[in-house]
Amino acid sequence: MSTRRSRSRQSASNSRITDDQINDLVSKLHQLLPEIRNSHSDKVSAAKVLQETCNYIRSLHREVDDLSERLSELLATTDNAQAAVIRSLLMQ
C-alpha cells in the first residue's frame, strides 16, 4: 500500500532513478531468493521482496559462520598432505 508512495518519494529525491529502474532491480533480486522464487504467486510486493532478501542474507551469514566453526574444528585434525589433495581436487 505504502510501497508506491515510498518509492515515488525515493525517486523524487534523485531524479535519475525511475520507478521502472527500481522495479527492474527488485525483480532481479526476487529471482535470487530461494523461498519466493519457487512460490506460485507472481504478485509479491517490492517490500516483501526486500524483507525476504534481508532474511536470505542473514541466513547466508549464519551459514558462513557455521562453516567457519566447522572448518576450525576440522583443521585441528587434518595435516598438510590432506590439504594438498583437497587443493588439487578443487582446482580441477
Partner 1 sequence: MNNPHHLNPTSLKSRFTTRFLRALTKIRAQKPISSSSPTEIFRRYRRIKVAADKSMAYSVRSRRIWSRAMLWKLRSRSYRRQDPCSGRRSGKTNQAIMKKSSNGNITRRREDGVGFVEEADELRQLVPGGETMNLCNLLDETAHYIKCLTTQVQVMKKIADFYSF
Per CB under 8 A, residues contacting partner 1 are 1-3, 6-7, 9-11, 14, 17, 21-22, 25-26, 28-29, 32, 45-48, 50-51, 53-54, 56-58, 60-65, 67-78, 80, 82-83, 85-87, 89-91
CB of 40 to partner 1, least distance (A): 20
Query: Nearer Cβ to partner 1, position 39 or 70?
Result: 70
Q: How far apart are CA 11 and CA 7, in angstroms?
A: 6
DSSP assignment letter at 14: S
**Residues 10, 13, 17, 18, CA torsion sign:** positive
